[in-house]
Amino acid sequence: MSTVRAQWAIHGKLDRSWEEYAVIDSSHEPLARSDFTRIIDLFKSGTMEAHEQTKVGTSYFTGADGQSWVGLSRQSESDSRDGLGRIFAITEFVCVPWRELPASRVSYRALYDALNKRGGLPGPQPVILEVAGYDAAYLAGKVTDIARAAAALLLTGEHVCVVGADHLDFRERLDFLDAAAALLPYGFRRELAVSTWTSSSTRHRIRLSFAEVAPPDSTFKLQWRPDGSARVHDVPGSERIRSYVMQYEETLRGYQGQAMTNLIGFLAGQIEPRSFEKPEDCRSALSLLREPLPEPQPKPRPQPLPKPLEPAVRDQHTMSAKSPVQLLEDVLDAFRRWDRPRLGQLILRLRELADAGIPDPDRLSCRQLVRTSRLRFQSYRLNLPELQSFVPSLVNLLFTAPVQTGDIMEVILPEDKERRPTLNLRQLVCEELALLPGDQLSPAAKLLVADFSGRKQLQSMLSEMADEKLMEAAYELQSEVPTRIAVDEIIRRLFQEKSNMIDIVGQSNYLLRPIRFIASGEERIRYYRNVINACLGSPPRPEGLETILRQVSEIPEDFRAAAVLEAPPRSSSVLLTAIVMDDVRRQGLEGTPTGIAIDDRLSRMATPATEPTQTDEQTDDQDDDQDDEKPRRLNRVRNTLEGLFGVRFFGILVFVFAIAMTVVLVVRLR
């Protein structure tokens, strides 16, 4: 936790006022009211409409003295009305000198929480905000493909707009914006304006935002998907920029789990100011991403005490000064020696520490310690009060709710699934996690824990899990075995023809990602076939296949193969259309004349023939081609003439020619 001194302003109207929106109150020094007016005006994101959620946005500006500031605003409905009886919006705005931010690595969410906690804004002095530390692990947990794509696209200097996330709470949107910003060097935050909601009919200056519809300009549009998947396809501009954005996104994809946390921590250290308008700053961001991450600093060894003391006495003196890792090392040491008096005191202190909460880096070190510990407990010792009180405190120390699979995977090892007469510390942690209330673990984490606790627990967990939670787990799990279990269970439920499950699978891109994670080659195709087969229902119909292929974004080759193998009779045109139109989309041809021509041609090809035999079909095709050829030739001649003489002249020519021919005919007949 750190504190920052923030200048503040309130923008809105006074009760029953006939005046326009304005800054109605603010701190006095060093920023003037006109500074606040200018900055709030510049970064407005649109009129706040009825039934809209609170809007949170960030902004930046340079003061008269050349000092850079970063601002955060929270806009919500007022309780009062203006002179015309209309409810108006009130914006609370705080801004902090940029030079104070990097030192504390303040995240947007932390600044918002601090403003929220602060309550009213007193005048005219600045407000002191207590801001939580930069939580790299929390931010890493919020990173999705869309966040990666957004971060990469921001480097083009263009605006990025996320659509289709109207249903999300504004705090979730703020976390997303924070996560995307965290994937760039921290120095970019000096010039990054984001907003949890913008109106695209407003000419705003927000670089990264959510909206109902993307503005009709060069803004990049990213579609929000429940599984967080996204991919950058079409990047306008030079080939160099395009390849650069793709590389940035691809490099980010290489970081998962702990590696992502480390990366975010590393990028947070890159505090020198950068600008999205400077290509060299954006280029250097990529090189930065490709640098090997610095090795974690070696753990400081406990300083030798001047006079050696008895262990129990020594701990009493030094416990309060110890880091959580040192304290945990001591506890494990006491267990090893079975030093019961010392153990009692240490566990007590550990519990206090766990209840108070520890910083993320310490938590990570403690997880590492548990992971590498060789300590084992005989089963007869499991009921001892020391152990009974130690393990819950340890779990409390190692994890924060809701526990994610990534967190657990940092502690447990694959061999922990094997049961022996003695249990190791990791297995004890796992058993304790299984006892936690449902809301303390993410769905995927529950499955993972159940898998480590034994087959029985897993079966009972699966039978209780709702369809949506199961799907969430399949996408979140980063371990092969439980993912496979989740996917198998989903397919089993699909075959029970539960329409709810079929809908959920459809919305989640037909399990493409989890299946890609657990299987390859023929096995993967087998999985896809099962999913398609189950979703097609009985009897399978071409329309069903069409629906499936339409819902899948970017149909992978092996999914195409599975679709061919499961295709019902007379669905060749459906398959062809889906595959070709998918290619059209991938190549960015959708809506272009070529794309429209391809679509038209496919529609014509899909026109059903009247029960043709194979030879009839071939003949029909030839006839079609010949029939097509005639008007095509005529058109060509007509186009050439039109090009030469113009449309009207051609019309007149035909008219004159017709009259002349009539005259000739009449003369001849006479």
Partner 1 sequence: MALPSPNPTPHEPDIAMWGGVGSGKTAFLASLSVALNRAEGANEGWRIIGADDVSNSELTRLRTNLLEHRIFPRPTDVLTSYNWLVIGPPTRGRRVWWAPWKRHPARAPKITFSFLDGPGGLFGKSEYSVSKEELIKSLVKSRGLIYLFDPDRRGQISDAFKNLDVALREVESQMLGDDKYLDGKLPHYIAVCITKYDEPNILRLAEEYTDHGLELPRVPDDQARDFFREVLARDLDQNAGIIMRLLEASFHESRIKYFVTSSIGMYADPDKGFDPDDPSNIIDVPGQDQKIRGAVHPINIMEPVIWLGRMLYPKTMGRER
> Interface residues with partner 1 (CB under 8 A)?
13, 18-21, 34, 37, 41-42, 44-51, 60-62, 68, 79, 82-89, 157, 159, 190-191, 193, 199-205, 207, 212-217, 219, 275-278, 648, 651-652, 655
Quote the CA–CA distance of 503 and 512 in Å, as a whole number.
15
Task: Return the C-alpha torsion angle 184, 185, 189, 194, nearest 10.
Answer: 0
Of 312 and 641, CB closest to partner 1: 641
Of 284 and 533, CB closest to partner 1: 284
Of 301 and 648, CB closest to partner 1: 648
Beta-strand relationship, 422-424 and 376-378: antiparallel
Q: C-beta of 276: minimal distance to partner 1 in Å? A: 7
The sign one gets for the Cα dihedral 163, 168, 174, 177 is negative
Q: Token pair 């991938």 is at which residue? A: 586
DSSP 8-state class, residue 307: S
- What does R_g of the chain's alpha carbons equal in angstroms? 33
Q: C-beta of 184: minimal distance to partner 1 in Å? A: 15
Q: What are phi and psi of 245, to 5 degrees?
A: -65, -45
Query: In whole angstroms, how far apart are CA 74 and each of 40, 114, 119?
Result: 11, 12, 12
Q: C-beta of 26: minimal distance to partner 1 in Å? A: 15
Q: C-beta of 38: minimal distance to partner 1 in Å? A: 8
Of 64 and 213, CB closest to partner 1: 213
User: Are 160 and 146 contacting, i.e. CB atoms less than 8 angstroms apart?
Assistant: no
Strand residues in 350-500 grouped as ranges (E): 376-378, 422-424
Q: C-beta of 643: minimal distance to partner 1 in Å? A: 19
Query: In whole angstroms, how far apart are CA 452 and each of 390, 422, 430?
Result: 21, 15, 7
Of 413 and 656, CB closest to partner 1: 656
Of 41 and 272, CB closest to partner 1: 41
User: Are 23 and 11 contacting, i.e. CB atoms less than 8 angstroms apart?
Assistant: yes
Quote the CA–CA distance of 419 and 128 in Å, as a whole number.
54
Q: C-beta of 598: minimal distance to partner 1 in Å? A: 23
Q: C-beta of 657: minimal distance to partner 1 in Å? A: 13
Q: C-beta of 34: minimal distance to partner 1 in Å? A: 6
Q: C-beta of 199: minimal distance to partner 1 in Å? A: 7
Q: C-beta of 590: minimal distance to partner 1 in Å? A: 15
- Residues 36-42: contacts with CB under 8 Å, at least 24 apart: 36/7, 36/9, 36/11, 36/93, 37/11, 39/69, 39/71, 39/93, 39/95, 40/9, 40/11, 40/73, 40/91, 40/93, 42/205
Q: C-beta of 27: minimal distance to partner 1 in Å? A: 19
Of 162 and 319, CB closest to partner 1: 162
Of 37 and 247, CB closest to partner 1: 37
Q: C-beta of 647: minimal distance to partner 1 in Å? A: 10
Of 87 and 413, CB closest to partner 1: 87
The two three-digit tokens of residue 41, written as one number: 């005006």
Quote the CA–CA distance of 45 and 196 in Å, as a whole number.
9
The two three-digit tokens of residue 536, written as one number: 């097609």
What contacts 301, CB < 8 A, 6 or more positions away? none
Q: C-beta of 8: minimal distance to partner 1 in Å? A: 19
Residue 59 DSSP SS3: strand
Q: What is the number of other CB atoms lying within 10 angstroms of the CB of residue 624?
A: 13
Quote the CA–CA distance of 463 and 393 in Å, as a whole number.
30
Q: C-beta of 203: minimal distance to partner 1 in Å? A: 4
Q: Token pair 């009259």 is at which residue? A: 659
Question: 503, 507, 528, 475: which is closest to 223 by C-alpha?
Answer: 507
Of 48 and 562, CB closest to partner 1: 48
Of 85 and 298, CB closest to partner 1: 85
Quote the CA–CA distance of 72 and 163 in Å, as a whole number.
22
Q: What is the number of other CB atoms lying within 10 angstroms of the CB of residue 389?
A: 16
User: Are 30 and 126 contacting, i.e. CB atoms less than 8 angstroms apart?
Assistant: no
For residue 609, which amino acid is it? A
Q: What are phi and psi of 204, to 5 degrees?
A: -95, 170
Show the DSSP H helices in 338-415 as ranges.
340-356, 360-372, 385-398, 405-409
The span from the first CA to the last CA of the chain, in angstroms, equals 110
Question: 355, 354, 297, 287: which is closest to 327 by C-alpha?
Answer: 354
Q: C-beta of 206: minimal distance to partner 1 in Å? A: 8
Of 157 and 506, CB closest to partner 1: 157
Of 107 and 198, CB closest to partner 1: 198
Q: C-beta of 241: minimal distance to partner 1 in Å? A: 17
Question: 508, 444, 505: which is closest to 479 by C-alpha?
Answer: 444
Of 66 and 569, CB closest to partner 1: 66
Of 277 and 611, CB closest to partner 1: 277
Of 338 and 657, CB closest to partner 1: 657
Dmax (CA) of the chain: 140
Of 164 and 540, CB closest to partner 1: 164
Q: C-beta of 464: minimal distance to partner 1 in Å? A: 41
